[in-house]
């Protein structure tokens, strides 16, 4: 087995798209000059090995646990090969510490980056909505707390931490939408319905929980090259997660 695509998306996001090996910090996503899409070089490497003959193999783990986010570390190809060829030098606890230290550093950097999101970044992150033809009317305007929604949708800590970061700038997103609505009254509703269209499409495919959330994050960031704009897209998604029926109530 191998980890699911949504799991790899969350791992890459929480790793800042950079190698977690100490001193490396290599960017693992390279944007295309021609606009053909980014090239991704990152590898979701297993901490406890996936093969029975691996030194770090844990026979007590289930296949699902082995491919879970918590047993994965995001590495460049060179360091992935190194930890596999020099397994004795990189025991499970050392790789867990490596993953924790790297993701904590990225988390702190993202919090700082989220705090600098303003109208220019949000304008670029929501520019795609002018191309969307709404097809689903809003049905439910009741507000449910983010924590209740997290439980209802069975989201785990990786998704929870992204939501927490996005909520830190929910006021900025709300102010932006209110400002745009002064000259484009339907803009907030079109934006909401644009996200709902994708949400229901993914639901129809059978996506749920962290997988659904990570794919919605990918949708929110699509086509955006600058990291500040990608984070602004996430901030909009999280605002809608809190404010409307994007995700089950």
DSSP secondary structure of 37-76? --EE--EEEESS-SSTTSTT--TTS-HHHHTSGGGEEEE-
- Mean of pLDDT over the chain: 87
pLDDT reading at 91 higher than 80: yes
3-class secondary structure, 18: strand
- The per-residue pLDDT for 98 is 97
How far CA 177 is from CA of 173, 187, 189, 205, 247, in Å, comes to 6, 8, 10, 30, 20
Provide CB contacts within 8 A for 124, sequence distance 6+: 224, 226, 229, 232
For the chain, the domains span 5-108, 117-243
DSSP element (H, E) containing 167: helix 157-167
- Residue 180: how many other CB atoms lie within 10 Å: 18
- Among residues 163, 6, 15, the alpha carbon closest in space to that of 75 is found at 15
- The per-residue pLDDT for 39 is 75
The one-character DSSP state at 141 is -
Question: Residues 26, 120: contact at Cβ < 8 Å?
Answer: no
pTM of the predicted model as reported, rounded to 2 decimal places: 0.81
What percent of the chain is predicted at pLDDT more than 90? Answer: 45
- The per-residue pLDDT for 50 is 82
Question: Residues 70, 7: contact at Cβ < 8 Å?
Answer: no
- The per-residue pLDDT for 37 is 59
Question: Residues 66, 4: contact at Cβ < 8 Å?
Answer: no
């Amino acid at each position: 087995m191998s980890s699911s695509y949504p799991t790899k998306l969350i791992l890459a996001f929480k790793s800042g798209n950079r190698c977690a090996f100490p001193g490396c910090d290599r960017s693992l996503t390279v944007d295309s000059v021609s606009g053909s899409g980014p090239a991704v070089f990152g590898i979701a490497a297993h901490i406890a090995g996936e093969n029975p003959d691996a030194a770090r193999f844990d026979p007590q783990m289930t296949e699902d646990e082995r491919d879970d986010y918590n047993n994965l570390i995001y590495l460049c190809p060179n360091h992935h090969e190194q930890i596999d060829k020099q397994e004795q030098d990189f025991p499970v606890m050392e790789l867990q510490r490596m993953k924790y230290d790297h993701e904590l550093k990225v988390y702190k950097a993202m919090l700082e980056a989220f705090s600098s999101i303003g109208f220019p970044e949000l304008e670029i992150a929501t520019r795609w909505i002018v191309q969307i033809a709404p097809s689903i009317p809003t049905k439910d305007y009741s507000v449910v707390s983010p924590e209740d929604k997290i439980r209802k949708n069975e989201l785990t800590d990786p998704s929870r931490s992204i939501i927490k970061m996005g909520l830190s700038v929910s006021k900025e997103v709300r102010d932006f939408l209110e400002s745009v609505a002064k000259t484009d009254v339907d803009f907030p509703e079109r934006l909401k319905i644009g996200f709902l269209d994708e949400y229901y499409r993914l639901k129809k495919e059978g996506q749920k929980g962290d997988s659904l959330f990570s794919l919605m994050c990918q949708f929110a960031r699509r086509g955006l090259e600058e990291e500040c704009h990608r984070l602004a897209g996430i901030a909009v998604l999280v605002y809608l997660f809190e404010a409307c029926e994007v995700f089950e109530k």
